[in-house]
Structure 1
């Protein structure tokens, strides 16, 4: 699956930009990345909003237990890969019909987050149990929402193309040609929402930081959730 957004919609993290500058490598534009995906998978389904947002997916070569799905509804587009263990309970909670599926459920959960302020994003994503990664584009608010499961069982990568678009895909080799070293694995148990805000929903108070990779590694950085320091009863770090 592939999702690409202009920097007018969402900006890539500075750490990915720095990784590409620190170790220069060949890159291509977002349009070339999309064409590469479509040419590689002729049966792929694609959707776009002007030149600002592109989404495409295929069932080809998908893992048996991690199917890909796509849906469009009420100015929203969503790519979903994986499966939810608690889908049945959540389907009732969000009032989804019998013909629903995981991708529609995630869209309903996002709508609740968007429309029921101050409904917390951590609450919305933490309720999803299973193996998953998804990307939502809300055209009504020009918002991107991305998340992955706590153990990262569904691979998701993100990178920055030559012309500054932020791209997400489940195939690291696909992004490598367009993003070079401005490429990283999306951190497990995290979500991206609102002005490029990357946070952990498992540990929402802990900062997510990027560790530069070595030149030999495919990705240019690794994003990790900082763990709190152990403290004595006097409050002194040890």
Structure 2
């Protein structure tokens, strides 16, 4: 899966900007990144959301235990990869139809966060059990919400393209060509929300998250460490 967002939606994280500055490396534009995804992934589906957001995904080569899914409801777009162990109980909690899947559940959880403000942002993900990574974009409010499970069972990476777009993907090699060293593994057990102003640990949003420079031979320029 791939999500690309202009700086009008997401301010490029300073930690990733600094990582790219320490070790300059070739980058490409967001447009070329999307083109590479579509051309290299069989049966890829891409979607332009307004002027500043591009989403793409494919079911090709997905794990049967960690499938990818996409849904949109009430202008809330969601890409989800993985599986929730407690989906049944969450469906009951949110009053959803028994046929609801993970991507619909995440959309409803996000809507609860948005509509019940001030609702703690970490509540969207702290009760999710299983392997997952997801990208939610709320077009009505231009809000982005991204999260990864506590064990990092589903890989997720983020980086900055040559033209300053912030990209999220489950394929590190795909982002490497576009983001150079302005690239990092998305920290497990964390969420990124433009509504709360950045990266947080959902176990305890007050935990400090720091970016540590990576070794020169690493594929990325930094990695994020949560101090509990």
Q: The TM-score by the shorter chain falls in which range?
A: over 0.9
**Matches of residues 30-179 of structure 1 in structure 2 within 5 Å?**
30-179=30-179
SS at match of 2:20: helix
- Regions of 4+ moved over 3 Å: none
Aligned to 1:185: 185
**Shift, 1:42, TM fit:** 4.0
Alpha-carbon shift at residue 134 of structure 1 (Å)? 0.2
- Deviation string, structure 1 residues 120-140 (Cα, Å, up to 9, x no partner): 111221010100000000000
CA distance in 1, matches of 2:89, 2:98: 12
Q: Displacement of 1:98 after TM fit?
A: 2.4
User: Structure 2: which 5+ runs fail to align?
Assistant: none
Distance in 2 (CA, whole Å) between partners of 1:167 and 1:191 is 15
Tell me, in whole angstroms, the C-alpha distance in 1 between the residues paired with 2:64 and 2:49. Answer: 30
Give the 3-state SS of the residue equivalent to 1:88 in structure 2: helix
Structure 1 residue runs without a partner (length 5+): 228-238
SS of 1:91's equivalent in the other structure is: helix
Aligned in 2, Cα 1:122/1:50: closer, same or farther, shift over 3 Å? closer
Once the two structures are TM-superposed, the CA of residue 215 in structure 1 deviates from its matched residue by 1.1
- Inter-partner Cα distance in structure 1 for 2:19 and 2:106: 32
Do residues 204 (structure 1) and 205 (structure 2) align?
Answer: yes
Structure 1 length normalisation: TM-score? Answer: 0.93
The equivalent of 1:224 in structure 2 is: 225
- CA deviations on 1:2-57 (whole Å, 9 max, x unpaired) are 00000100112101001111100000000000000000124111111233001110
Please give the secondary structure, in 2, of the residue aligned with 1:103.
helix
**Correspondence 1:15 to 2:18:** no
SS at match of 1:121: coil
How big is the shift at 1:203? 2.6
> Cα deviation per residue 1:186-230 (whole Å; 9 max; x = unaligned)?
000000012541000113221111001111100100011113xxx
The structural deviation recorded for 1:78 is: 0.4
Q: Is the 8 A contact 2:49 2:55 kept in 1?
A: no
**Could you tell which deviates more after superposition, 146-155 or 48-57?**
48-57
